[in-house]
Structure formats: structure tokens, C-alpha cells
Amino acid sequence: MAHSNYRHQDSLDGPLGFSAEQRFYEVLSNCKDEDSDSDTNEYNRPLLVRLVYEHAKELQQDATAHGHFLRAFFDAIKLPPDGLSVDMEHENADIRARLFGFADYLVHKFFLPLRASTGKTPQPTPDYHSATSEAFVGTPQRLSALRGQCLTRDKHRCVISRDYDKEKAREQRKRRIPGSATLDDDGQQVAQFSTLEVAHIIPHILFETDSEPQELAEARKSAWEILHMLDKKAAPLINAADIDRPRNALTLSMEMHQDFGRFEIYFTPITEGNSPPNTYLIDSFSPAFHPMLPITRTLHLTESPTIEPPNPRLLALHRAIGHILHLSAAAQYIDSVLQSWEEQMARSDGSTQLGELVRLGLSNLMNIR
């Protein structure tokens, strides 16, 4: 398991030269992960580190930003970022072990809790009139207001399937003439209905709650630092109570919410041609489970300045996390750890990875997800 000395320091900020990137790829190419090619539930650690770096470059498009990740990487593997070539023949085993530790640190402190928080946004009764300024993250008042704002903005439809809100249809049925058709927010007849939920693009798991244990606060601090390495410009958009603003949420059906929360579904912006703003190609890493995908959707806007559209930067961050998880096989690894935890909860023979889960602090994270 990686330790806290992998955390970045302020002195790590700043651009690095091309030679640092060359050395980064040289180290990765010499530290292959044979275990990830076997039938085990291991993931490809060098590939995960490479994907994090490349997505950080793509998300931030800033030499200082991805230089920041490289400095953290070289600090973790205890090598200078430039200078003479590394004697990989004699130092490869130690460097490989440190690189694997750095990858495990990224997974255990950031990607695992994110995937463990799958589809857990609470669903209080929507409040269509409140714009509460309650400062605490995830309070019922804030989430109720968020749900009302998202349902209004998204016209009571799932932004992917376009199914209409079943609860809204029931309310309408009480008032309409018996036998008349259900109409949507634009006055069009509705054919399909679903139970709709508000889904956070980036979940609450990264943020502190009141009076939480010190160990959990430290785990969240590590996750927040890794988020800054991946995209420091996204962090202010979801800092503290801002995570419950409409820009960090979508209206989804229960099924779509579950898979979006698992980072199985992702949004890619369409900017070429005559596509209107906020148009996305929506696709899945599990096409067998989502036969309607890929599909192109334009997200709705409102005239209200308090109801923002889903933020493109946050959707891009969500997309990057999904690609890192699935292309490196970290998603399957994390699922095996979570399954082990669930099996341990169902029996008491102690034969699963309980020690590993306690060491990860996962039980605390799971209690509040």
C-alpha cells in the first residue's frame, strides 16, 4: 500500500521539460505488469499511471499542471525527473515496486472510494422553489432543492433515455380529465415513464462531513490532492457545498443513475459541425447492458440564472475517470475488493481481505457513501 509521503507538496508545482516526460515513459515501459495479463483480479498499474497522466494533460492543457503530476510521480519512485539515464537493469525491481505502490495509492485513495459511492445520491422530495444557502454538504434541504432544480431544468426527463418522471405523471393524472393523455413539460404526449433521480457527476465521497474520524478526514484529504493532480481547475467547481449545485448534477432514471455512478456511462462533447451548445455523444463501457447507446443528446437549459447546465469540465472529468478505470482494469479490481467486503459482512469466518479493507479505511467510506 502506498503511504502518505506520496502526497504532493507545493514545491512540486511548476513546469518540467520534455526530458521528464521521456523518462516517465521510459520507466513505465520497463515496469511491465505481468499479473494484469493473468486470470487474477489485478489491474495494470503502469497503464493506470500512464492514463492518469495523459488524461491530466488532456483535461488541463497546462504544462504546469501535468508537470505537477510528473513531480509527484518521480517523488514517489525516488528518481530525479531529468538527468542521466536510469540503470533499469540494476534498479528495476525497486523502481517497479515503488511505481506499483504509487498506482495503488491512486486507486485506494481516489478511484476505489469513487466507484464505491455508486449511485448513492439521496433522493428527498424535490423542492421547486427553494435555493437554500445551507452550507453543509449533502443536507436534505440542499439535496431537495437540487432535485427540484434539476427536474425543472431537464424538463422532468432522464437526459439519456428521455423517459418522463413517473411521479410528475401521477400528479398530472390527479388533475386531468379521465382518459386524456399525459403531457410533458412542453405539452407533448408522453410514451415512456421512469422513476427519476438526481445524480451527482462527481460524488460526495471526496468531501468531509461534520465530526468525522481523523482517519477518514485524512483519507478525504488524499483524495482531494489526487483530484488536484488530475484536474485542479475542476476542484473549485465542486468545493464544499458547491458540489450540490445543478452544474454537478443530472436527472437520470434509476438504472442510468446506477451505471453513471459506476463510471460505466460517459459523455463526450460534440463541438464540430452545427451541433448546438451542450450536445454530447453518450456512450457506455458495457454496450450489452445499454443497447440504446451510443446516442447523441442536447442537454436542456433554463432561463433562470440560478439553474446552471451540467458543467462540461465536470462531465469531462467523469469521462476521464471512467476511461482510466476501465482501460486499466482497475474497475474489475475494485469490484472484487468491494465484493470481498460484502461477503465478509455476510459471514464471520474471517477468510476474506478484511485486513486490507480496514487498512484502506473502506468500511468508514462505505458507511457514508
Between these two residues, 182 and 322, which has the higher pLDDT value? 322
Which whole number is the average pLDDT over 69-85?
A: 84
Residue pointed to by grid coordinates 461534520: 210
| pLDDT tens-digit map of 125-143 | 665 555 444 444 446 777 8
CA atoms within 13 A on the CB side of 40: 10
Q: What confidence score (pLDDT) does residue 309 get?
A: 95
Q: What confidence score (pLDDT) does residue 156 get?
A: 96
Q: Does residue 259 contact residue 318 with C-beta atoms inside 8 Å?
A: no
* Cell numbers representing residue 329 in the block: 482494469
Closest C-alpha to 218, from 364, 33, 339: 364
Give the pLDDT band (50/70/90) at residue 89. Answer: low
Q: Please say if the pLDDT value at position 348 is more than 50.
A: yes
| Strand ranges for the chain from DSSP E | 164-165, 193-194, 196-200, 249-253, 265-269, 279-284, 295-298
Closest C-alpha to 137, from 128, 146, 125, 126: 146
| Whole-number Å distance between alpha carbons of 104 and 39 | 19
Q: SS3 for 273-302, per residue?
A: CCCCCCEEEEEECCHHHCCCCCEEEECCCC
Q: How far is CA 315 from CA 47, 77, 209, 242, 272, in A?
A: 22, 31, 24, 15, 18
| pLDDT tens-digit map of 228-284 | 899 989 988 998 778 889 999 999 999 999 999 999 999 999 988 788 999 999 999
Q: How far is CA 36 from CA 19, 32, 47, 192, 332, in A?
A: 28, 9, 10, 43, 11
Q: What are residue 198's DSSP bridge partners?
A: 251
Least confident segment among 74-78, 237-241, 284-288 = 237-241
**How many C-beta neighbours within 10 Å does residue 15 have?**
14
Cis preceding-peptide flag for 310 (omega within 30 of 0): no
Q: Please say if the pLDDT value at position 70 is more than 80.
A: yes
| Whole-number Å distance between alpha carbons of 98 and 73 | 10
Q: Please say if the pLDDT value at position 104 is more than 90.
A: yes
Q: What confidence score (pLDDT) does residue 128 get?
A: 54
**pTM of this prediction?**
0.84
- What is the crossing angle of helices 88-106 and 18-29, to 10°? 90
Give the pLDDT band (50/70/90) at residue 208. Answer: low
H/E stretch holding 196 reads: strand 196-200
Give the pLDDT band (50/70/90) at residue 338. Answer: confident
Q: What confidence score (pLDDT) does residue 125 get?
A: 60
Strands of 295-298's sheet, edge to edge? 265-269, 279-284, 295-298
Supply the Cα-derived Rg of the chain in whole angstroms: 22
* Cell numbers representing residue 17 in the block: 521539460
Between these two residues, 288 and 15, which has the higher pLDDT value? 288
| pLDDT tens-digit map of 128-187 | 555 444 444 446 777 888 999 999 999 999 999 999 999 999 988 887 767 778 888 999
The SS3 call for residue 249 is strand
Q: What confidence score (pLDDT) does residue 137 get?
A: 47
Mean pLDDT of the chain: 81
Residues in CB range of 227: below 8 A, 6 or more apart: 110, 206, 234, 235
Residues in CB range of 53: below 8 A, 6 or more apart: 24, 66, 69, 70, 73
Which whole number is the average pLDDT over 331-351?
A: 74
Q: Does residue 353 contact residue 340 with C-beta atoms inside 8 Å?
A: yes
Residues in CB range of 273: below 8 A, 6 or more apart: none
Between these two residues, 295 and 191, which has the higher pLDDT value? 295
Residue type, 17: G
Handedness of CA 310, 313, 314, 316 (dihedral sign): positive
Closest C-alpha to 319, from 349, 353, 280, 288: 280
| pLDDT tens-digit map of 57-68 | 999 887 666 778
